[in-house]
Structure 1
């Protein structure tokens, strides 16, 4: 059930099926956690699965721009992993809390969270899994203006993910797709924080290429990655290239309902207004497509 709900979330955005996931957590999953089990190992496994559902509810709240509610779900997931005694899964929740703080521009505790998560897993998980934590610390270092340490941590994360295999990821990490695509995306975010638009663009492009575009999944994250890539191209003055990339992003957005995507489309339209005044031919047509999407989904 969690895998199914996660696939739906990635394909259609966080607002699609949100009520169903919350109800599933409050009824079926809550009842499961209060059941009797044949062994303590089965009980711990059930708590871990419940944590994954709570995590997904938090993610959906975050995608709806409801950050206080998202934090409450993440804290619930954290409590479940602690009750299960799974310190590696607990680290995964700390990691998303660090990213959440950075995404909403509240970085006060993000480096502490990222370092605490990485400390829990370092040397205890596969290289591909550790890479997901290492790149989180790299981004937190960049947000805190520790440039040299961030660059060093990026190299470590990239080395780890190249040595690892996707099949080595724990189920709760594998739910969210390719480790290499995720590391590339967060490396792009790290370089954006460092003001290095060329490298940010390159890593966003790598991330987008690493995800399928066949209409069967990952529409939202790929569209957001392409939107970010276009932003980095625009920052370098590559206006025609930015329009082409944003056009690819819009191609993926049919049926996606997400507050984060709606913000990105609004941001694209603001920049397209500037491009149109500069005589960029593609800007007006692309702005019309973005407007149509807003009318349908925003």
Structure 2
């Protein structure tokens, strides 16, 4: 039942963006899709592969993810896509000594497809991102890895909320949490619980969202980051992630004070180095919540810290964020606020340096 629900959710046409897929979609690694089809027919005719090849893909995924987190999604994007089309597609075609090895290889391939989707999302190519996520989902399903498949449903839910297309996101979040509940450690489950909280808030179900937030917080506080499976651990501290999505939940509910508080907690729970892009975006969001409450000096302080961290980051989301900061600073600048003028000049210089 849950499997059919998840599949129905992600195939719904209304969930996809109205924008056409990027031209880059034509270059998707169809060899992987063909490899899945051959696997379903029991045809494995490629060269033999084993643990060493699987670990190599995992190590490369770790490396590419660290670069993404530090420098933004557009650094190394072509290399990751080419890696998916070549080495990873070859791994999916390979012959393995056991079904377990083949399943782990497909799960490793799914993580690379997921990263490609994340990079497309970071470039604001949302239709392409969803196609990559769907490909990652197909790989996890073929691997028989229900927990990893739930992780893909989770990102699809967040993607829908981020691009303001929430039509199917609550169903996706429900399906993801149902698959993971009782089968994963508390820290892992917390990441799914907070996704559902955010989806409830976006659906206008505030009281249920608040209860789900408390459940997610209880889970993450009782768990440990060491318990996370590899496909979740790559993306940083569960406490920081839960705090960030708690802030987004409160933002959807119009509670700017609580949103500000949880964005601040998220930034505190991330390492000082290695996660510059997400920390910078979190601080920028914190500044928005401060500005919404009329705390202009505090907002300028948060935005200034965000700009410090964005130096050298290549990300369409960062470009959009800085443009949004400048729009708000223009309002404050017209009121004669010197700090707003100075910060706007810094933001203008950043935009000039990061123009496409």
TM normalised by structure 1 equals 0.99
CA contact (8 A) 1:239 1:280 kept: no
**Bigger Rg, which one:** 2
Partner of 1:259: 316
* Kept after mapping to 2: 8 A contact 1:48/1:81: yes
Deviations 1:161-204 (CA, angstroms, capped at 9, x unpaired) = 00000000000000000000000000000000000000000000
For the pair 1:182 / 2:241, whether they are aligned, the reply is: yes
In structure 2, stretches of 5+ residues that fail to align are 1-59
Number of the residue aligned with 2:78: 19
Kindly provide the CA deviation profile for residues 114-144 of structure 1, in whole angstroms up to 9, marking residues without a partner as x: 0000000001100000000000000000000
Give the whole-Å Cα distance in 1 for the aligned partners of 2:256 and 2:235.
26
Distance 1:61 1:238 in 2: 34
Residue 70 of structure 1 pairs with residue 129 of structure 2: yes
1:39 maps onto 2:39 in alignment: no
Match of 2:46 in 1: none
Q: CA deviation at 1:239?
A: 0.2
- Mapped to 2, the partners of 1:268 and 1:280 lie a distance apart of 15
1:184-199 correspondence to structure 2 within 5 Å: 184-199=243-258
Q: Which whole-Å CA distance do the structure 2 matches of 1:192 and 1:287 have between them?
A: 25
For the aligned residues, what is the CA RMSD? 0.6
CA contact (8 A) 1:33 1:46 kept: yes
Q: Partners of 1:225 and 1:275 in 2: how far apart?
A: 21
Superposed structure 1 runs of 4+ greater than 3 Å apart:
none
Q: How far off its partner does 1:280 sit?
A: 2.0
Q: Does 1:241 align with 2:325?
A: no
2:177: which partner in 1?
118
Partners of 2:196 and 2:269 in 1: CA distance? 22
Partner residue of 1:138 out of 175, 197, 204: 197
Residue 281 of structure 1, CA deviation = 2.0
Find the aligned partners of 2:302 and 2:170 in 1 and give their Cα distance.
32
TM-score (norm 2): 0.83
2:90 and 2:315 mapped to 1: Cα distance? 30
Q: Alignment partner for residue 119 of structure 2, among 60, 77, 80?
A: 60
Question: Structure 1: any 5+ residue segments left out of the alignment?
Answer: none
Q: Distance in 2 between matches of 1:22 and 1:4?
A: 14
Matches of residues 139-158 of structure 1 in structure 2 within 5 Å? 139-158=198-217
Aligned residue for 1:170?
A: 229
